Amino acid sequence: MAILLCTKTTAMNDWRDALLAVDPALDIRLFPEAGDPADIEAAVCWNQHDMGELRRYPNLKLIVSMGAGVDHLLRQPGPPPGIPVARLKDHMLTTGMTEFVVLNVLRFHRQDLDYRAQQAARVWNELPAPVTAERRIGILGLGELGAASARALVSFGFPVMGWTRTPREVEGVTNFHGEDGLDAMLRQTDILCCLLPLTPQTRGVINARTLALMPRGAFVINSARGGHLVAEDLLAALDSGHIAAAALDVFEPEPLPAEHPLWSHPRVLVWPHAAAITIPSSAAPQVVDNLRRAREGRELINLVDFSAGY
């Protein structure tokens, strides 16, 4: 029985080597060289793979995302019905995302964009000192990544709030949930950070209405999915001065088209979907563990809840 790796990225060989390092006896196939479809018992996939294609494998027991997000696996035509889908929970992804969030929160909090502009103009001018205890951070999503970022920011002394679907406790973090909770949190958010999964409920959550709820001069960080943000609404809020700046790692579509105004906006920082990059050698053990569990009929880990959409 074999594992089929399905991605168009160059990571395919790294994944094969990482899985073989965990268990040299594994039979790894690289799409489209699947061999006999009846051999495939697990598919490890990243975006751009046609999930409808997975219906070809009659003995498929498990589908695994090569990342934390699963929106690319669930979008139509979706995975074959009845096959469990797992995602990654990986400490290196969590570390990478926490670093990205802290980097940009501190960049905005410490007026780095203003100092960069002053440097370009050779202006020596001390700006008013920012007060950490007064800079309120609102995080959309307090899951694996959101909770870790929240804890890191709490340790700096920022007041941290987090918005979730269900009530959630993270030490030192004020929790809001549901639609009313979102509005209440945004009204007191000076730096917003999006770490939600992309679902029909969360698509477009950062839009003209929600941006307007935030105090004038607030900042936006989006490192979840491009579909969470209505880019035109953000550009309008930046141009009116209501939003001071944004740090964006994710876009719709990706790559961000060369002519898109976000590339050249002076108050926008663009990263190429690199906030937290999967390291196959770190992630492979949980994939092999899940495959063994599936073979032995044991409970699987890190499963997607199809009813919640993540």
Contact window for ligand OXD (CB under 6 A) among 67-75, 129-137, 228-236, 283-291: 67-75
DSSP β-ladder status, 40-45 and 2-6: parallel
Instruction: Scan for tokens 């409920």, then name that residue.
Output: 201
Adjacency order of strands within the sheet including 2-6: 27-30, 2-6, 40-45, 62-65, 85-86
Q: Which is nearer to ligand NDP, 189 or 202 (CB)?
A: 202
The residues with which 42 forms a beta bridge, in sequence order, are 3, 62
In 3D, which of 146, 144, 149 has the Cα closest to residue 163?
146
**Catalytic residue flag (residue 107):** no
- At 44, give phi and psi (nearest 5°): -110, 115
> Which of ligand NDP, ligand OXD, none lies near 310, with the C-beta cut-off 5 to 8 A by kind?
ligand NDP
Q: Does 146 bind ligand NDP (CB under 6 A)?
A: yes
Strand spans (E) along the chain = 2-6, 27-30, 40-45, 62-65, 85-86, 137-140, 160-164, 173-177, 191-194, 218-222, 243-248, 268-270
**Catalytic residue flag (residue 273):** yes
> Which of ligand OXD, ligand NDP, none lies near 90, with the C-beta cut-off 5 to 8 A by kind?
none
Q: Does 201 bind ligand NDP (CB under 6 A)?
A: yes
Instruction: Select which of 49, 135, 136, 225 is catalytic.
Output: 225
Cα separation, 243 vs 173, whole angstroms: 24
13: which 2 tokens?
């060989």
Q: Does 67 bind ligand OXD (CB under 6 A)?
A: yes
Instruction: Select which of 151, 177, 265, 273 is catalytic.
Output: 273
Q: Does 104 bind ligand NDP (CB under 6 A)?
A: no
Nearest residue relative to ligand OXD (C-beta):
67
Q: Which is nearer to ligand NDP, 130 or 178 (CB)?
A: 178
Contact window for ligand OXD (CB under 6 A) among 21-29, 63-71, 172-180, 187-195: 63-71
**Contact code string over 261-280 relative to ligand OXD, x by CB under 6 A:** ---------------x-x--
Strand spans (E) along 94-172 = 137-140, 160-164
Q: Does 246 bind ligand NDP (CB under 6 A)?
A: no
Q: Three-state SS for 95? A: helix
Question: Which residues sit at the interface with ligand OXD, rule CB under 6 A?
Answer: 67-69, 93, 276, 278
Question: Which residues sit at the interface with ligand NDP, rule CB under 6 A?
Answer: 67-69, 93, 97, 141-146, 163-166, 168, 195-199, 201-202, 223-225, 249-250, 273, 275-276, 310
Which residues are the active-site residues?
A: 225, 273
